Homo-oligomer: A and B are copies of this chain.
Amino acid sequence: MAKGESKVFIDPWGAILIEDYIRVINQFGLEPFTDETLKKIPNPNRLMRRKIIFCHRDLNIILDAMKSKKPFYALTGIMPSAQKIHFGTKMVVENLKYFQDQGAITYLLVADLEAASTRGISLKESRKNALEFHIPAYIALGIDPEKTTFYFQSENKDVMRLMCILSNKVTESEFRAIYGSVSPGKVIAALLDVSDILFPQFRGKPMPGVIPVGIDQDPHIRLTRDLARKTKRVFGFVPPAAVYHKFTPSLDGSFKMSKSKPETYIELPEEPESISRKLWNAFTGGRETLEKQKRLGGVPEKCVIFEFFKQHLIEKDEELDKIYFECKSGALICGDCKHHAIELMSKFMSEFNRKLEKARDLIPSLNFIK
């Protein structure tokens, strides 16, 4: 840490203190996701092409495995706390799907014990939420259920065992340095996360793995890599790689969506009326007056609507570029863009709902391991 800089804690459970992605990259030794990185990635997805994935750890070991057709895994966990997901989770699923499409052995787990340890949610309620909503939602967003291994933490003895075994390898001060505090609920949740991430190697054999996450989850990745190294002699773990996506901004233009202000974010699912209302009230890169906008052009770089186009709503790069330049030139006005966004979002949402219903029928046939 440079002299005079205050220490930043990334808190995977709540308050976000990251003001600056660059600062985070430097402070935590992340590797920036550059044009060079992008060139090495086969069929990059939208989030990669547009550098919504803005940094990574050890992605090269995954690219090498993909290139040489060696086994590797990709994994993510469902936090089954309510029958809703947000657009950050959607990006995780898209990135998981990317690696699945590239041949990753794919794990999707339900973090029911973590939901109990951090939010006091009963295992029964978590199970209901996961089966009725989250797993179908992840399938609706593109995960191939036939190529995915599912489990509940509370059914997986190896995950629970590994949590206990690894607890011995991290001290109170190391834990505090990563998470800022050491509450028993956090200790359990963090060690469960680590154990999930290492589980495919613990039950199976050591191999590279990649975890797609939001940057707020980096503490878990750091702890996992640290514990993988510390127990290498015993278990042979390969420290897992990770890719990090930026946040989907709050509709009011602030840094990150906040659960306490429902008007500032859109969830999956969301009703058509509230989609319209929320997007219509969104912060844009427009000028104070229409005259000024036509003369000076808009500022897509700070426009929430444009960020939604870029992150979520527009797949074709040419189409996105066109909007960007038309906005910059003053030819596009904010009202038109909002209408466009509402139309695309509503279409996406009804498509999601349709696929969700369909995916629910698949639940009884899924393969849950224990």
Asked if A170 and B184 make an inter-chain contact with CB atoms under 8 angstroms apart, the answer reads: yes
Which A136-165 residues have a C-beta within 8 angstroms of B?
153-155, 157, 160-161, 163-165
* Among B167, B181, B185, contact of A117 (Cβ-Cβ < 8 Å): B167
Asked if B188 and A182 make an inter-chain contact with CB atoms under 8 angstroms apart, the answer reads: no
Chain B residues near A113 (CB-CB < 8 A): 161, 164-165
Chain B residues near A187 (CB-CB < 8 A): 167, 182, 184, 187-188
- A113-B161, A160-B157 given; A172·B168 CB < 8 A: no
A184 to B163, CA, bound (A): 10
* Among B122, B181, B183, B188, contact of A191 (Cβ-Cβ < 8 Å): B188
Nearest Cβ on chain B to A174's Cβ, whole angstroms: 9
Chain B residues near A189 (CB-CB < 8 A): 167
A181 to B173, CA, bound (A): 10
Asked if B164 and A188 make an inter-chain contact with CB atoms under 8 angstroms apart, the answer reads: yes
Asked if A168 and B123 make an inter-chain contact with CB atoms under 8 angstroms apart, the answer reads: no
A260 within 8 A of B: no
Asked if A118 and B168 make an inter-chain contact with CB atoms under 8 angstroms apart, the answer reads: yes
A120 within 8 A of B: yes
Asked if B157 and A117 make an inter-chain contact with CB atoms under 8 angstroms apart, the answer reads: no
Chain B residues near A188 (CB-CB < 8 A): 163-164, 167, 187-188, 191
Asked if B157 and A183 make an inter-chain contact with CB atoms under 8 angstroms apart, the answer reads: no
Chain B residues near A171 (CB-CB < 8 A): 183-184
Chain B residues near A117 (CB-CB < 8 A): 164-165, 167-168
Interface residues, chain A, CB within 8 Å of chain B?
113-114, 116-120, 122-123, 153-155, 157, 160-161, 163-165, 167-172, 175, 181-185, 187-189, 191-192, 234
26 residue pairs bridging A and B, Cβ less than 8 Å apart: A113-B161, A113-B165, A114-B164, A116-B161, A116-B165, A117-B164, A117-B168, A118-B168, A119-B168, A123-B161, A123-B165, A153-B164, A157-B157, A160-B160, A160-B164, A163-B188, A167-B185, A167-B187, A167-B189, A168-B184, A170-B185, A172-B181, A175-B183, A182-B187, A184-B191, A187-B188
